[in-house]
């Protein structure tokens, strides 16, 4: 099993690289950087890498995690610089370290949701605060895995904390910590549910950024 982990950022135009293309990008980068890593066995071996909790297309992040197995002959400290020289603009390795904690312990994701609100910002914030503060608020999300074709999500139970802040450029940011997995709550599903609940308070634009990965206690997961 892989025992090494990368934390990397995905920003700018790289936000529109799909998960599968990102996997291929890293596979090629390891080769170009001449970094020896573990491969699967069999007739058609391929690099043994995996990205935890794939990021939605169009989202940016500063805390993506990639697992792999570094073979002897290279120090972990060398990996970020060598990979960054081989990766495209917008994908940047921040650190390489031993992956000691299993990914299943990753419980929460800290997001910044930037809202373009030229008018009516205070009303939208008040309405969204009311919805997020409810004891229960169940919405249906389409799912190919569910027999019924949808799964029920009780949103307040999947939100650990949230705050609103004003940005200098006139946007309002919702900083929110959401359940990561089993099940997880994608922030775009949350925003869609909120805009459906309050159709008269639509933001002009929405941008999503993943800021940090957290364990069940709300501490930084590494």
pLDDT of 140: 85
CA distances from 51 to 124, 172, 194 (A): 35, 30, 29
149 assigned to some structural domain:
yes
Residue 80: give its domain's CATH number: 3.30.70.580
Q: At what angle do helices 187-197 and 121-132 cross, to 10 degrees?
A: 110
pLDDT of 202: 85
pLDDT of 151: 83
Taking residue 109's Cβ as centre, other Cβ atoms within 10 Å add up to 26
Residues 6+ apart with CB under 8 A from 177: 108, 109, 110, 111, 159, 160, 161, 162, 214, 218
- Do 119 and 196 lie in a common domain? yes
171 assigned to some structural domain:
yes
Q: Considering 82, 100, 118, which residue would you say is the last residue of a domain?
A: 100
Q: Are strands 60-68 and 159-166 parallel, antiparallel or unpaired?
A: unpaired
Q: Are strands 172-179 and 205-215 parallel, antiparallel or unpaired?
A: unpaired
Q: Enumerate residue ranges in the chain where pLDDT < 70.
A: 1-2, 118-120, 144-147, 168-170
Structural domain including 153 reads: 105-215
23 assigned to some structural domain:
yes
pLDDT of 130: 95
Q: Residue for token digits 């999947």?
A: 158
- Do 68 and 120 lie in a common domain? no
Q: Considering 100, 135, 169, which residue would you say is the last residue of a domain?
A: 100
How far, in Å, CA of 197 to CA of 130, rounded? 11
pLDDT of 48: 85
Q: Considering 50, 78, 100, which residue would you say is the last residue of a domain?
A: 100
CB 109 within 8 A of CB 128: no
- Do 14 and 109 lie in a common domain? no
How far, in Å, CA of 110 to CA of 102, rounded? 19
220 assigned to some structural domain:
no
Tell me, yes or no, if the pTM score tops 0.85.
yes
Q: Residue for token digits 């921040």?
A: 94
- Do 122 and 79 lie in a common domain? no
Residue 197: give its domain's CATH number: 3.30.70
pLDDT of 169: 66
- Do 82 and 120 lie in a common domain? no
- Residue 196 has phi, psi (to 5 degrees) of -70, -35
CB 104 within 8 A of CB 67: no
pLDDT of 146: 64
Q: Is the peptide bond before 183 cis (omega within 30 degrees of 0)?
A: yes
Q: Based on the structure, what is the number of domains in the chain? A: 2
- Do 138 and 77 lie in a common domain? no
pLDDT of 81: 97
pLDDT of 171: 82
pLDDT of 168: 64
């Amino acid at each position: 099993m892989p025992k090494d982990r990368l934390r990397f950022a995905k920003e700018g135009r790289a936000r529109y690289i799909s998960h599968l293309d990102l996997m291929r990008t890293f596979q090629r980068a390891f080769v170009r950087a001449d970094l020896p890593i573990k491969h699967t066995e069999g007739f058609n071996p391929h690099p043994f890498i995996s990205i935890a909790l794939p990021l939605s297309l169009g989202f940016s992040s500063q805390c993506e995690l990639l697992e792999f197995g570094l073979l002897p002959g290279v120090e972990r400290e060398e990996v970020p610089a060598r990979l960054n020289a081989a990766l495209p603009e917008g994908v940047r390795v921040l650190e390489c370290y031993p992956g000691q904690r299993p990914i299943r312990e990753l419980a929460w994701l800290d997001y910044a949701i930037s809202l373009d609100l030229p008018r009516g910002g205070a009303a939208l914030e008040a309405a969204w605060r009311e919805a997020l503060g409810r004891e229960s608020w169940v919405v249906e999300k389409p799912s190919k895995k569910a027999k019924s074709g949808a799964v029920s999500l009780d949103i307040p139970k999947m939100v650990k904390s949230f705050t609103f802040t004003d940005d200098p450029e006139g946007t309002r940011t919702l900083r929110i910590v959401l359940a990561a997995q089993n099940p997880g709550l994608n922030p775009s599903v949350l925003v869609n549910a909120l805009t459906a609940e309050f159709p008269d308070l639509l933001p002009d634009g929405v941008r999503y950024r993943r800021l940090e990965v957290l364990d069940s206690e709300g501490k930084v997961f590494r």
